[in-house]
Structure formats: C-alpha cells, structure tokens
C-alpha cells in the first residue's frame, strides 16, 4: 500500500496547474491523480478524483472552482484554491504563512486554503506589516504600482504574445485595469484591514515571468514621521526567520549594484525580496518575486507542505 500523498490538480492545463504538476512530478512522496483528458469537465469523474485525494489544487476560473468545492464530500480532503473565488471568504484560510504565526497555524490546520493572488501577494507583503505596526493611518491614501511578466495574463495572452499575432504595442509595458476594478483589490483591502481600497496601477511587460510591486510612502502623512531605517527595522522584525521572504539591506545598494530593480530576477523560485528605499520625506517599498512562484504555484505548494506537516521548502 502506497504511503504517498495523493494529489489531484483540477485545471492542470493552465499556467499555475502546469507549474504545480511539473514540480510535484519530481517528488517521491506524491502520487498525482490523473483524470482522462476527455473527462476533465465531467462532474462525476472530477468528484471521484477530488474525493480520492489528500490534497486538491484548484487552478480554475472562479465559477468552476466553486463548482469543484461543491463536489467535495470527503471531510479529509484538503483544498487549495488558486482562483479568486474564496480569497475574501471568512470560511477559508488565507495562504500567506509569513504574514503571522496565526496565518501559518491556520493554514496548518486548514481543509480550505485560498492561495493569494500574485499582485496581492506583493502588496500585502508590504502593507500588512505597516498596518499591524500602526505606521499607516486608517485613511491613508495607499497607492500601488506593479509590473509583471506576461505569463500572469494566462494561456490566451501567452499564446498571442508568443505567436505571429503579437502586435507592435505588445513589445512595450502596457498598463491596464485603468478603471480601478482589478480583481485583486478586494483581497488587498480585506487582508490588510484597510478602510479604503488602494489606488492600484498594474503593468504587464514583454518578458515571461517575475514581478515587482511597489508602494510609495509620504512620511509626513504617516502616524508619525518615520525614517527609512525605522521602516526597514519594522519590516525586518516582521519577517525575521522566514525562509522564503527576506528583507534586503536598507536602500538595496549591495543587491542592486547597478541601481536597477529588475522584475525577473527571482523567476522560477518561491523567493520574495522586500526592499526599503528612499529618504526621510519619501520612502519606497518594493516586493520582488515570481508571479508563477510565490505569486501562484510556489505559494500553493508551500501551503500544501504546511498542511501536510512536512518541510515547507520541500520541492521548492
């Protein structure tokens, strides 16, 4: 009798599902349950797979993710949802273990974990510690700028950008969600405990994966006038001892030898680097990671490891 954990990936064909499948396929403690290609939309067959698994990854559109959860009748099946469907649902635990020991413990005990969004991961990594430390007033007008590789746009956009149908404009950075209705906004606001949603300006660029999320702070508008060194100390204390999230040296001088913060440096990793830069009047916080790693599949696998009680770095 196999002592391997049985894992089913519902939505294996997407970018997140494929990454999870590739990584899990290299592990000796995981048995991947595979559904026949012609039955991957068959509810009865999906239900059979879901209820036979120790862990199910949902890499699906929101409606399909909710449908998959409804198919689960096995009380022992753990579900990690990579869609937007359950990220603000109080019945689900938010899958960012580095935010606090409570978050980590909730994930460890959980049967239902909502995997964070990629942009949201960067934003929350910067803003959550500051709100917890009382740095930001509840009505502070938070602004966030972010750049991501085009893989974050999903298979349809990937296929266009990597085909002869690629337009001239796709060679440049392209800002979108101009109407301030991006699907990650509710998650960003709720998880951080903000009174108002942030102004969010996402940009997709002509490289495959990796992202930088930036939040500027005007120190005269904070609860008191903090220096960059004080903010750096708050961030460093918050993430002390974490394996995947590291606060880099103040100003980033050693890491950013050429003065540029490239967005693709951490591609193919589950690492996240946090930078504190600026001066006594204006401080810039930046979070750098892979939108397919800590922003998606890597985070999902890390959560699975925690839920199964094994080393959170295994396979990452």
The pLDDT score that the predictor gives to residue 301 is: 98
Q: Which architecture does CATH list for 118-289?
A: 2-Layer Sandwich (3.30)
Among 3.40.50.720, 1.10.240.10, 3.30.750.24, 3.40.50.620, what is the CATH number of 5-115+296-308? 3.40.50.720
* Concatenated DSSP letters of 35-60: --GGGTT-HHHHHHHHHH-SEEEE-S
pLDDT of residue 4: 94
Count the alpha carbons within 13 Å of 39 in the hemisphere toward its beta carbon: 10
Answer for the pair 49, 35: CB distance below 8 angstroms, yes or no.
yes
Question: What is the pLDDT confidence band of residue 107, given thresholds at 50, 70 and 90?
Answer: very high
80 vs 267: CA distance, rounded Å: 22
Asked whether the predicted pLDDT for residue 53 surpasses 60, the reply is yes
Give the residue numbers annotated as catalytic, written as ranges.
Answer: 118
Which has the minimum average pLDDT: 47-51, 63-67, 159-163, 206-210?
159-163
Judge whether residue 30 has pLDDT over 90: yes
Q: Give the per-residue pLDDT at 152.
A: 83
pLDDT digits (tens, 9 = 90+) for 175-188: 998 898 898 999 99
Mean pLDDT on 287-315: 97
Q: Is it the case that residue 254 has pLDDT exceeding 80?
A: no
Question: Within its chain, how far is the Cα of 33 from the centroid?
Answer: 25
Instruction: pLDDT band for 77, please (50, 70, 90 cuts).
Output: very high
Work out the pLDDT band at 258, boundaries 50, 70, 90: confident
pLDDT of residue 195: 94
Q: What is the pTM of this model?
A: 0.95
- Average pLDDT on 287-303 reads 97
Token couple for 287: 């979070």
CA dihedral 156, 162, 165, 166 (to 10 degrees): 100
At 2-13, the pLDDT tens digits run: 689 999 999 988
Judged by average pLDDT, the poorest of 69-73, 164-168, 195-199, 288-292 is 164-168
Question: What integer pLDDT is reported at residue 101 of this predicted model?
Answer: 97
Write down the mean pLDDT value for the chain. Answer: 95
Distance CA 148, CA 290 (A): 9
Sheet (strand 199-205) strand order: 174-175, 199-205, 143-149, 211-218, 282-289, 272-278, 245-247
Taking CA atoms, 266 is separated from 91, 176, 305, in Å, by: 32, 23, 21
Which of 36-40, 179-183, 301-305 has the weakest average pLDDT? Answer: 36-40
- Return the domain boundaries, the chain: 5-115+296-308, 118-289
> What pLDDT is recorded for position 312?
97
Per-residue pLDDT, 2:
66
Kindly give the pairing relationship between strand 199-205 and strand 30-33: unpaired
Confidence of residue 80 (pLDDT cuts 50, 70, 90): very high
């Amino acid at each position: 009798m196999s002592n391997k954990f049985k894992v089913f990936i519902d939505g294996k064909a997407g970018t997140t599902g494929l990454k999870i499948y590739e990584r899990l396929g290299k592990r000796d403690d995981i048995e991947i349950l595979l559904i026949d290609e012609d039955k991957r939309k068959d509810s009865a067959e999906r239900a059979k797979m879901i209820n036979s698994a120790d862990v199910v990854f949902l890499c699906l559109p929101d409606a399909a993710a909710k449908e998959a959860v409804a198919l689960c009748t096995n009380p022992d099946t753990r579900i990690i949802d990579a869609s937007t469907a359950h990220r603000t649902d109080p019945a689900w635990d938010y899958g960012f273990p580095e935010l606090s020991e409570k978050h980590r413990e909730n994930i460890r005990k959980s049967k239902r974990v909502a995997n964070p969004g990629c942009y949201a991961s960067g934003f929350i990594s910067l803003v959550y510690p500051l709100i917890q430390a009382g740095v930001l007033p509840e009505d502070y007008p938070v602004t966030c700028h972010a750049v991501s590789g085009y893989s974050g746009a999903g298979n349809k956009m990937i296929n266009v950008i990597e085909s002869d149908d690629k337009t001239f404009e796709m060679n440049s950075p392209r800002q979108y969600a101009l109407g301030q209705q991006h699907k990650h906004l509710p998650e960003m606001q709720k998880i951080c405990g903000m009174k108002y949603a942030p102004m969010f300006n996402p940009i997709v660029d002509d490289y495959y994966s990796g992202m930088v999320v930036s939040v500027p702070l005007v120190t005269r508008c904070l609860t008191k006038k903090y220096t960059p060194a004080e903010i750096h100390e708050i961030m460093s204390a918050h993430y002390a001892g974490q394996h995947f999230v590291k606060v880099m040296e103040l100003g980033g001088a050693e890491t950013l030898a050429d003065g540029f913060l490239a967005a693709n440096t951490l591609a193919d990793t589950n690492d996240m680097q946090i930078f504190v830069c600026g001066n006594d009047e204006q401080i810039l916080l930046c979070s750098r990671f892979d939108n397919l790693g800590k922003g998606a599949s890597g985070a999902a696998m890390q959560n699975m490891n925690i839920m199964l009680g094994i080393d959170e770095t295994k396979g990452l």
